[in-house]
Amino acid sequence: MVWWQLVNNAEIAAISSTTALQRERISVSVLKFGGTSVKNLARIQHVAEIVRDRLTAGAKILVVVSAMGDTTDYLLKLGSQCAKSPDRRELDSLLSTGEQISITLLAMTLQELGIRSRSFTASQIGIFTEKVHSKARIVDINSANLNRALEHNDVLVVAGFQGVTADGDITTLGRGGSDTTACALAAAIGADVCDIYTDVDGIYTADPNVIAEARLLKRVSYGEVIEMARLGAQVLHPRAVELARQYKVRMRVRNTFKPDHEGTVIDEGDGENMEIYRSISGVAVDKDQSCVTIMNVPDKPGIAGRIMQALAENNIVIDMIMQAFHPTAGHNNITFTVHVSDLDQTIKTLESIKDDLDASSVISDPDIAKVSLIGAGLAGQSGIAATIFNSFGAAGINIKMIATSEMKLTCVVSAADADRASKIMHSSFGEEE
């Protein structure tokens, strides 16, 4: 989508000036630990031991950490109890405190192990973003701050998920933004590998908690992982993978609780050992979606552009779009999907322009989920759509919307049918070696 292109163009341009300098100066490994990895003090101690074991002579480690466990959800709940629609600037300031706690505790634990370590917020290290709250994009990284910190410490512990504007306002990068922080810093210092530690062994062909037959992928391409992430897989943030692809930073998804497990390698997808002929890589499910329709829009040039512009001005990202034309009436229904967190703002935005467009109404359907088949070899294969549609029909699963690309086939179904649909899709294609 165009949105991802814009996001990463901004972030990639900001990083390019520091990469060569860092490659010449020092060898640094980048490790990122998610919320489950630092859920409590015992797990923080475990993470510190992993970091200690990864330290080698002459090398440094940069650790990016998320907030502890469900801290972000708890802070969001607190904010919503104070205000029905919390100001996004204040909400970002509140949410950023979660990472500040976890980085400080980890740095203290590392120091107790005799390791020269120091914690840094995004403001302290210099991760600058645009002035957009809750979904900010990185525009610059202060290489001088990074250099000085690396010279005086063996391990830097940096807060993920957050940034700071040029005038000092705290911003957040959106859910999963710690992945983006890690890959941006890896690109900035010229790291060859960025290890993303989580609570699973790597990337599977489907969610192993839902589909027991899901298979661990040893190696997968950037493009496939970006599609998986965008379509609901919870392992990585797509912006992070896009940055890694641009700067050829190999990523590894590894299990914090099995530190010797090799996990899944994410790279360009070429080379003789790559499973290049694997046509299907996996199945993804996204239950955090809603469907919105603006009804009876006049069939005139420029109408769709006005709708999309209004949504863009409110930082609302849309995905699947469907326009139904009624030739006898001269009107269209325009339907699209948005993240559930943007549903209220989407409806409010469309209601504000509905009368100017001469549209009749705005309706929404929060009872949806996207179920997607992903694979680098998906394009051009006959029979895949027919197999899925026939299987869904036989199981009594109604398809509300369909979208395809060279690397995905997505069906929108009722939320209650999502897991069943994913199992059917995986049993048809997910066992391919």
Parse the chain into domains and list their residue ranges.
2-271, 277-433
pLDDT of residue 218: 92
In order along its 433 residues, the chain shows pLDDT tens digits of 223 333 445 555 555 444 433 444 568 899 999 999 999 999 999 999 999 999 987 789 999 999 999 999 999 999 999 998 899 999 999 999 999 999 999 999 999 999 999 999 999 999 999 999 998 999 999 888 888 899 999 999 999 999 999 999 999 998 779 999 999 999 888 887 899 999 889 999 988 888 888 999 999 989 888 888 888 877 788 889 998 998 889 999 999 999 999 999 998 865 444 444 556 788 999 999 999 999 999 988 999 999 999 999 998 989 889 887 766 578 889 999 999 989 999 999 999 999 999 999 999 999 999 999 988 767 666 688 888 999 999 999 999 999 888 888 999 999 999 999 999 999 887 444 4
CA-to-CA distance for 265 and 248, rounded, in angstroms? Answer: 12
The per-residue pLDDT for 274 is 46
Q: Do domains 2-271 and 277-433 have the same CATH topology?
A: no
Distance CA 111, CA 48 (A): 9
Give the single-character DSSP code of 287.
-
Spatial neighbors of 134 by CB under 8 A, at least 6 apart, are 88, 91, 92, 171, 172, 174, 315
Query: What global pTM score does this model have?
Result: 0.80
Is 29 exposed, middle or buried, given 0-12, 13-18 or 19+ CB atoms closer than 10 A? buried
Long-range contact pairs involving 11-14 (C-beta distance under 8 Å, separation at least 24): 11/137, 11/138, 11/139, 11/180, 11/184, 11/239, 11/243, 12/187, 12/243, 12/246, 12/247, 14/128, 14/138, 14/139, 14/140, 14/141
**260, 33, 2: which is closest to 158 by C-alpha?**
33
227 close to 408: Cβ distance less than 8 angstroms = yes
- Give the contacts of 94 (CB within 8 A, at least 6 positions apart): 75, 78, 79, 86
pLDDT of residue 324: 79
CATH superfamily of 277-433: VC0802-like (3.30.2130.10)
Task: Quote the pLDDT of residue 429.
Answer: 74
Fold of 2-271: Carbamate kinase (3.40.1160)
The predicted structure's pLDDT at residue 95? 95
**Helices assigned H by DSSP within 87-142:** 88-112, 122-125
Phi/psi of residue 412, nearest 5 degrees: -95, 125
